[in-house]
Structure 1
Amino acid sequence: MKIIVPMAGRGSRLRPHTLTVPKPLIPIAGKPIVHRLVEDIAGVINQDIEEIAFIIHKDFGTQVPKDLIAIAEKLGAKGSIYYQDEPLGTAHAIMSAKESMSGPVVVAYADTLFRADFTLDTTADSVIWVKQVEDPSAFGVVKLNDKNEIVDFVEKPDHFVSDLAIIGIYYFKSGETLRAELQYLLDNNITKSGEYQLTDALENMKLKGMKFVPGKVEEWMDCGNKNVTVETNSRMLGFLHDDGKNLVSNTVESNNSMIIQPCYIGEGVVLTNATVGPNVSLGNNTKVENSTIKNSLVQTNSVIKNANLDNAMIGSHAKFDGNFTSISIGDYSVLE
């Protein structure tokens, strides 16, 4: 099994945090989004992962490819790096990794996390991960027949068609077939609003009689902007805590301080006269003094003083000293 992860977008809605690091490498509960994503996929497919192909932008620099390859290797897989330099749509992005498109593949967009407990139907030509939602008009949805097979894809329906929203993760039994269908779009310049779309390839495959089935997830967590990323961090901490995971490093130095679970507290963190939690992630080597922090995400090597934070997101190597509450400051920022 191979996993293909298109992630060339910079994540403009999550600025300033994505000015120095791509969104999929933003940590959630102490681990990059994309790392958690591929781990969760591995848990669902229950097969050995041969390769993880990451599609990035050339402007991401030299460290990002190294970090991504390390993530793949932690899962026992080969890591491959491909580049998409123009935003020409989902189909174009996936085709950037065409050399890795063979055998069974999973395509997963790296801006979402999920929790699921379903068995992958490897007899189907494709499995599309979906989540039941209250307002389907904001999403692409799938329509099912009485055999639980997908018979239609509808983008942002203006009347009720289905409440099963496509979350952006797909399994294909044959990577070769997917590649051929995507190549057909490119060769024939089949676009929508100037972009090559994966949904057009899915429609062509369905018309050829290929079997599509849904994989229904229990939880779907977005990381699109600051507020939902902080919320996703809180939800993930809760799930991991319920699973019995200890996310507080034994190297934490706590002086007259209290940790209210669930929390992730990284290595080398120093707490002085602080109350941290619930639902807080503090990255490695962060220092918190005379502060109360809840429902917040702080990355590595930052210093927080005299703060009362709630629904806050602070980058790495930042300094914050003040009485603001719901803040969002990026890497190397100083507010004191």
Structure 2
Amino acid sequence: MKALVLSGGAGTRLRPITHTSAKQLVPVANKPVLFYGLEAIADAGITDVGIVVGDTAEEIREAVGDGSRFGVEVTYIPQEAPRGLAHAVLISRDFLGDEDFVMYLGDNFIVGGITGLVEGFRETRPDAQILLTKVPDPTAFGVAELDGEGRVVALEEKPEVPKSDLALVGVYLFTPAVHEAVRSIGPSRRGELEITHAIQWLIDQQRDVHSTTISGYWKDTGNVTDMLEVNRAVLETVEPCEDGTADEASEIIGRVRIEKGAQVTRSRIVGPAIIGAGTVIRDAYVGPYTSVSEGCRIEDSEIEYSIVLRDSSITGVRRIAASLIGRGVQVTPSPRSPAAHRLVLGDHSKVQISS
């Protein structure tokens, strides 16, 4: 069995962060979300992995390498443009051959991994198996309609009027039957080859399509709100350690990981939280559910429920919350007068200012 990991896409919902970084490499608890998926695949006993890459191919290659650090062997499959999940399967035909495979969206996060799912698929081998979960807004996802006995009867991609609240989770399992399906469909109104259309083709051809509704934790980390929520969930499991240093004037409460070379001085850190390698925390408060990456500096400031990417600094700021701060960012107080906000913002930025 092989794995196909999708790591293309523009990451428009995480802009401006994704103007300069692949969305799959934005860190959750100081580890890129893509890495969690690769670890789950390896834990399921799958070692032959194809990664579909787009404009951020070089960054993905640099981060993942040959896959040996995860216990897998990686083949990179270039996709010229994000033309849909079924298109990714279509261009990966040579890599996949005639083997069963799991398709895993690289920006998805599933607590507990996929080992049980893969083992169940190997035993029953339906032509396709999909994961479903109930969501409050099905219009943002592929949606499944089930009959009275729980069988999949129809799928629809981002419907305006959903027929259920069951959204497709970004993990799919297929036999080689899916290759005929992706060749048999045409582009959707979005101009993409939709995997939901390919699975619907299998259903229409009376092929065996199974579904599993999961009640565990799943998130598509494509926006800031979900990214922070995944960060919170992962930090709940963090093991505390102090490989860095915290002076006697500092207070460390709860599950806090202080990584090698980090320095905490006259500060209060309330876990769960991670302080990255080489980061300096001085005269500051770091609250629960906060991940601070390597090489950062937080001085005379307060922050909680946030993600701070590497090499950023926050100085003299009263309180930051529910924020995603990119790489190499400098956050400082504005001058007290004149009473105006001075902003330098990239394209598609979103700013909230308290009046």
TM-score range, shorter chain: 0.7 to 0.9
In structure 2, relative to structure 1, the CA distance for the partners of 1:96 and 1:221 (3 Å cut) is same
- Do residues 300 (structure 1) and 310 (structure 2) align? yes
Q: 2:74 aligns with which of 79, 83, 90?
A: 79
Residue of structure 2 in register with 1:223 after alignment: 221
In the alignment, is residue 212 of structure 1 matched against residue 209 of structure 2?
A: yes
Pairing 1:227-242 to 2, within 5 Å after superposition: 227-240=225-238
Alpha-carbon contact 2:102-2:171 (below 8 Å) kept = yes
Quote the Cα distance in structure 2 between the aligned partners of 1:156 and 1:319: 38
Structure 1 pair 10–277 and aligned structure 2 pair: CA distance change class (3 A): same
Q: Which residue of 1 aligns with 2:339?
A: none
User: Are the aligned partners of 1:5 and 1:109 in contact in 2 as well (CA < 8 Å)?
Assistant: yes
Which of 93, 105, 108 is the equivalent residue of 2:101? 105
In structure 1, the partner of 2:86 is 91
Q: When the two structures are superposed, what TM-score results if normalisation uses the length of structure 1?
A: 0.83
- Shift in CA distance, 216/98, structure 1 to aligned 2, threshold 3 Å: same
- Counterpart Cα distance in 2 of 1:107 and 1:261: 35
Q: 1:272 to 1:284 in 2, by over 3 A?
A: same
Tell me the CA shift for residue 52 of structure 1. 1.9
Deviates more, 1:276-285 or 1:217-226: 217-226
Q: Which residue of 2 aligns with 1:333?
A: none
Alignment partners' CA distance in 2, 1:250 and 1:86: 40
Letter in 2 for 1:312: S
After superposition, the CA RMSD in angstroms is 2.9
**1:145: Cα distance to partner?**
4.1
Letter in 1 for 2:62: K
8 Å Cα contact 1:284/1:300 also seen in 2: yes
Q: 1:146 to 1:73 in 2, by over 3 A?
A: farther
Q: Distance in 2 between matches of 1:141 and 1:13?
A: 20
Number of the residue aligned with 1:36:
36
- Provide the residue aligned with 1:54 in structure 2: 51
Secondary structure at the counterpart of residue 221 of structure 1: strand
Q: 1:317 to 1:134 in 2, by over 3 A?
A: closer
Structure 1 partner of 2:333: 322
1:281 alignment counterpart: 291
In structure 2, the CA distance between the partners of 1:117 and 1:202, relative to structure 1 (3 Å rule), is same
Question: In structure 2, do the counterparts of structure 1 residues 158 and 288 end up closer, same or farther at CA, with 3 Å as the change threshold?
Answer: closer
**1:68 deviation in Å?**
2.5
Matches within 5 A, 1:116-131: 116=112, 119-120=116-117, 121-122=120-121, 123=124, 124-131=126-133
Question: In the TM superposition, what is the alpha-carbon distance from 1:12 to its structure 2 partner?
Answer: 1.9
3-state DSSP of counterpart to 1:21:
coil
CA drift at 1:82: 1.3
Q: CA deviation at 1:117?
A: 7.3
Contact 1:69 1:80 in 2 (8 A): no
Q: Deviations over 1:286-334 (max 9, x none)?
A: 111111110111111222211221112212222222269xx9988xxxx
- 2:323 is the alignment partner of 1:312: yes
1:5 matched residue in structure 2: 5
Q: Is the 8 A contact 1:226 1:313 kept in 2?
A: yes
Give the secondary-structure state (helix, strand or coil) at the position aligned to 1:86.
coil
1:270 aligns with 2:280: yes
Instruction: Number of aligned residue pairs: give it.
Output: 316
Structure having the higher Rg: 2
Secondary structure at 2:20 match in 1: coil
Instruction: Identify the range of structure 1 (286-295 vs 112-121) with the bigger mean alpha-carbon deviation.
Output: 112-121
AA aligned opposite 2:296: T
TM-score normalised per structure 2? 0.79
Further displaced range: 136-145 or 300-309: 136-145
Cα 1:291–1:247 change in 2 (3 A) is same
Q: 5+ unaligned residues in a row in structure 2: which ranges?
A: 241-253, 336-342, 347-355
Matched, 1:259 2:256: no
From the superposition, tell whether residues 114 and 149 of structure 1 become closer, same or farther in structure 2 (CA, over 3 Å). Answer: same
Identity score, percent: 28
What is the Cα deviation at residue 276 of structure 1? 0.8
- With 146-155 and 48-57 compared, the bigger mean Cα shift is at 146-155
Change (3 A) 1:219 1:282: same
